[in-house]
Amino acid sequence: MKTDKKTLALTAAKARLLAVQMVYEAASGHPGGSLSCLDVLTALYFDEMKIDPANPRDPERDRFVMSKGHCSPAVYPTLALRGFFPVEELKMFRRIDGHMSGHVEMKHVPGVDMSTGSLGQGISTAVGMALAGKLGNKDYRVYSVLGDGEVAEGQVWEAFMAANKYHLDNLCAIVDVNGLQIDGKTCDVMPTEPLDDKFRSFGAHVITIDGHDFDAITAAFAEAKATKGQPTVILAKTVKGKGVSFMENNAGWHGKAPNDEQFAQAKAELEAAIAALEG
Amino acid sequence: MGEKIATRNAYGQALAELANQYPEIVCFDADLAGATMSKFFLEAHPDRFFDMGIAECNMQGVAAGMAACGYKPFTNTFAMFAAGRSWEQIRNSICYPGLNVKVVGSHGGISVGEDGATHQCIEDFAIMRVIPGMTVLCPCDANEMRLATEALVNYDGPAYMRLGRLAVETVTDTIPGYKFELGKGIQLREGKDVTIIANGMMVQMALTAAEQLAAEGISARVVDMHTIKPLDGDIIKKAAEETGAIVVTEEHNIVGGLGAAVAEFCSENCPVPVVRHGVNDEFGRSGKAPLALKAFGLTPEVIAEKAKKALAMKK
């Protein structure tokens, strides 16, 4: 499915509103990193990936693993808007009587390809899916979003050594480089830069883009697809909390829900963005 | 009683053979293929064998990803680095989503010998069985290991299986009526005074201990409990009711393993004395395997002593 840039922007704005709303209604969750990676997710699910909401377990489908599994408020609204389940089900997020766990979960949510939450683990499972694709001569692709704080986990580098060894050119990882994590700036908590040199030295083809520019995102996916013999890592430079003025570039919004007043303001801002894009 | 062969060899050969009829079996190792005996698979099916290097955590995750795509992965490394190093990957990437990965831990227990405490895993049963939904196995000989491996291929879900390093005598092939079933213990010897429940290479020692006890006029039943989880409560209850005293022997810490599992079951269902025999909550030590086992009291003689202790506690 190909989608024009304006529609992608509108879809992402709608997803952002749903993301903030579900965190607000659950009174807990992770808005910051969800808002930062939502343009990438929208481009994946509405433009890039070969998927069918009517057949979420199609063996031939492209796969997606949210390695930073706390960004369920990015994944679940994207899946809902894409038609995997009704938007109303987002109300079940983080509820004891619901089926939408705080971290991304595959057993009960249609369209989720892997349960994640413990950082560093998702990318290994994505490597496994890509390896399965190679072994079975399938032409599906595997995408995975990681956080730039997450890459401090040693397992991420174990995974890329394996992706390099097996020449997994069907694997495309996107690092959501928003520069912030729970305890503060990534460069202070545990410096992970230079990410481009690191991933390149681990055998990946590295593309650095503005993670909020749909032309750049879709071009990077095309470049990744055309890259043979090695995996691709897209370093998507993003703004944590993107789209909600008071959440932007503020580590405090990593894992906090807005109060009534804050939600009203966030809603007004995102509705204005939606109206502008619809106009 | 027949061939003397290590369960790791029996497993490696069995898996390689089973892969002929199951194209979905894939095999992983973390640079120990020559020791875990996944080398037999590598030789027979190099296209389905993946050496992931010394990176066990990633190996479990990659296996989870392949299971999510319909394959039947078996991951191989030493018990210490499977159950230990990659415990959280096994919990969160394999067991929580309920993926069909078989985690195989070779070189379990004190009988690793010379390599010493860092490699003598005596905690794997405990830390694997506490994970919800995990199946935990420790077959005793080559015959049982072949049957267990085939049963795991046909079981859809996560499981952990421990293999032993030492060559051990095959005993289960000559037991009349012996039948392997996941989650079902097997009575190898009838007895009425006390029951010895064992797994792994302690099964052979339990049979020897029962002989020694018989010479003293004590009739000891021997139950081979190859599956630690799910635990066969029926065979334990029957033993408790018919013999009134139980000793559990395993090449594992007495904390948390099969002995603990049996004690947990008995205390709630059929309270009888349960004496745990194993490693007494201490780390292993280097030494030739038979001497190391002896140093930790993992011998038929000590099992017989523990059986007498259980017997003395009977009301």
The answer on B142 and B28 residing in a single domain is yes
Look at strands B135-137 and B227-229 and give their pairing.
antiparallel
Q: Residue A17 carries which side chain, given as an amino acid letter?
A: L
The answer on B271 and B122 residing in a single domain is no
The answer on B196 and B145 residing in a single domain is no
pLDDT at residue B43, as a whole number: 98
Q: CB A135 to CB B60 under 8 A? A: no
Question: Of B169, B199, B232, at which residue does a domain stop?
Answer: B169
The answer on B135 and B75 residing in a single domain is yes
pLDDT band of A279, cuts 50, 70, 90: confident
User: How far is Cα A77 from Cα A88, in angstroms, rounded to an integer?
Assistant: 10
The answer on B142 and B19 residing in a single domain is yes
Give the pLDDT confidence of A107-116 residue by residue, as tens digits.
999 999 999 9
User: How far is Cα A77 from Cα A73, in angstroms, rounded to an integer?
Assistant: 6
Q: CB B55 to CB A162 under 8 A? A: yes
Specify whether B301 is catalytic. no
Give the pLDDT confidence of A35-53 residue by residue, as tens digits.
999 999 999 999 999 999 9
The answer on B186 and B151 residing in a single domain is no
User: What range defines the domain where residue B13 resides?
Assistant: 4-169
**Nearest one of A262, A116, B219 to B209, comparing CA atoms:** B219
User: How far is Cα B270 from Cα B279, in angstroms, rounded to an integer?
Assistant: 25
Give the pLDDT confidence of A74-84 residue by residue, as tens digits.
999 999 999 99
Q: Is residue A227 less than 8 Å (CB to CB) from chain B?
A: no
Q: What is the mean pLDDT of residues B175-197?
A: 97
pLDDT at residue B3, as a whole number: 82
Mean pLDDT of chain A: 97
User: How far is Cα A80 from Cα B271, in angstroms, rounded to an integer?
Assistant: 53
Residue A93, pLDDT > 70, answer: yes
pLDDT at residue B1, as a whole number: 53
Q: Which two tokens stand for residue A163?
A: 């992706």
User: How far is Cα A127 from Cα B65, in angstroms, rounded to an integer?
Assistant: 7
User: How far is Cα B98 from Cα B160, in angstroms, rounded to an integer?
Assistant: 13
Percent of chain A with pLDDT over 90: 99
**What's the domain count of chain B?**
2
- Spell out the domain ranges in chain A: 5-242+255-278
CATH number of the domain where residue B261 is located: 3.40.50.920
Q: Is residue A168 less than 8 Å (CB to CB) from chain B?
A: no
Q: Is residue A263 less than 8 Å (CB to CB) from chain B?
A: no
Look at strands B167-169 and B4-6 and give their pairing.
antiparallel
Q: CB B93 to CB A121 under 8 A? A: yes
Q: Which two tokens stand for residue A261?
A: 């007043």
The SS3 assignment for B137 reads strand
- Measure CB to CB from residue B97 to each of A107, A155, A165 and give the nearest one: A107
Q: Which chain B residues are Cβ-neighbours of A135 within 8 angstroms?
A: 26, 47-48, 66, 71
User: How far is Cα B39 from Cα A6, in angstroms, rounded to an integer?
Assistant: 55
Peptide bond into B230 cis (omega under 30): yes
CATH number of the domain where residue B100 is located: 3.40.50.970
- Measure CB to CB from residue A125 to each of B47, B68, B98 and give the nearest one: B68
**Nearest one of B21, B255, B30 to B154, comparing CA atoms:** B21
> A92, A100 in Cβ contact below 8 A?
yes
The answer on B59 and B10 residing in a single domain is yes
The answer on B208 and B131 residing in a single domain is no
Q: What is the mean pLDDT of residues B46-68?
A: 98
The SS3 assignment for B96 reads coil
Q: CB A59 to CB B96 under 8 A? A: no
Mean pLDDT of chain B: 97
Question: Of B117, B136, B169, at which residue does a domain stop?
Answer: B169
The answer on B204 and B137 residing in a single domain is no
Q: Residue B117 carries which side chain, given as an amino acid letter?
A: A
Question: Of B154, B169, B184, at which residue does a domain stop?
Answer: B169
Give the pLDDT confidence of B261-315 residue by residue, as tens digits.
999 999 999 999 999 999 999 999 999 999 999 999 999 999 999 999 999 999 7
Q: Which chain A residues are Cβ-neighbours of B96 within 8 angstroms?
A: 115
Buried b (16+ CB within 10 A) or exposed e, B303-313: bbbbbbebbee
The answer on B247 and B153 residing in a single domain is no
Given the residues B17, B24, B43, B56, select the one marked as catalytic: B56
pLDDT band of A1, cuts 50, 70, 90: confident
The answer on B177 and B165 residing in a single domain is no
pLDDT band of A232, cuts 50, 70, 90: very high
DSSP-assigned letter for residue B71: -
* CATH superfamily membership of A5-242+255-278: Thiamin diphosphate (ThDP)-binding fold, Pyr/PP domains (3.40.50.970)
Q: CB A128 to CB B89 under 8 A? A: no
Q: Which residues are CB-neighbours of A144 under 8 A, at least 6 positions away?
A: A64, A65, A66, A67, A122, A123, A126, A171, A172, A173, A174
Return the residue in A113, A116, A121 with the most chain B beta carbons within 10 A, the one to mutate for interface testing.
Answer: A121
User: How far is Cα A84 from Cα A55, in angstroms, rounded to an integer?
Assistant: 9
What does the angle CA B244 – CA B245 – CA B251 come to, to the nearest 5 degrees? Answer: 150
Residue A96, pLDDT > 90, answer: yes
**Nearest one of A210, A205, A172, A149 to A44, comparing CA atoms:** A172
The answer on B66 and B11 residing in a single domain is yes
Sign of CA dihedral B173, B179, B182, B187: negative
Shortest CA gap B36–chain A (Å): 20
The full DSSP string for chain A is ----HHHHHHHHHHHHHHHHHHHHHHT---HHHHHHHHHHHHHIIIII----TT-TT-TTS-EEEESSTT-HHHHHHHHHHHTSS-GGGGGGBT-TTSSB-SS--TTTSTT------STTSHHHHHHHHHHHHHHTT----EEEEEETTGGGSHHHHHHHHHHHHTT-TTEEEEEEE-SEETTEEHHHHS----HHHHHHHTT-EEEEEETT-HHHHHHHHHHHHH--SS-EEEEEE--TTTTSTTTTT-GGGSS----HHHHHHHHHHHHHHHHHHH-
The predicted complex's ipTM stands at: 0.97
